[in-house]
Amino acid sequence: MKSILAIALMLSCFCSILAEDWKQSLSLGFNLARGNTENTQFNTRYDAKKKREKDSISVKVAANFGEDDVQKNTDNYLVGAQYNRTISQRYFWLINSSYEVDNIADLDYRFQLSPGLGYKLIEKKNNTLDIEAGLGYQSQQYDSQSKEDNVAYRAAEKWDYQLSETSSLWQSAEISGAVDEGDDYIIKAVIGIQSKVAGNLNLKSFIQDKYTNDPANNKKKNDISFNTVLVYSF
Task: Tell me how many helices (H) and strands (E) the chain has.
Answer: 1, 12
Residue 2: per-residue pLDDT = 45
Instruction: Give the pLDDT confidence of 40-60 residue by residue, as tens digits.
Output: 888 899 999 999 989 999 999
> What is the rounded average pLDDT of the residues 100-122?
95
**pTM, to two decimals:** 0.84
Share of the chain above pLDDT 90, in %: 64
Hey, what domains does the chain have and what are their CATH numbers? 51-57+77-233 (2.40.128.100)
Instruction: Give the pLDDT confidence of 115-169 residue by residue, as tens digits.
Output: 999 999 999 989 999 999 999 999 999 987 888 899 999 999 999 999 999 999 9
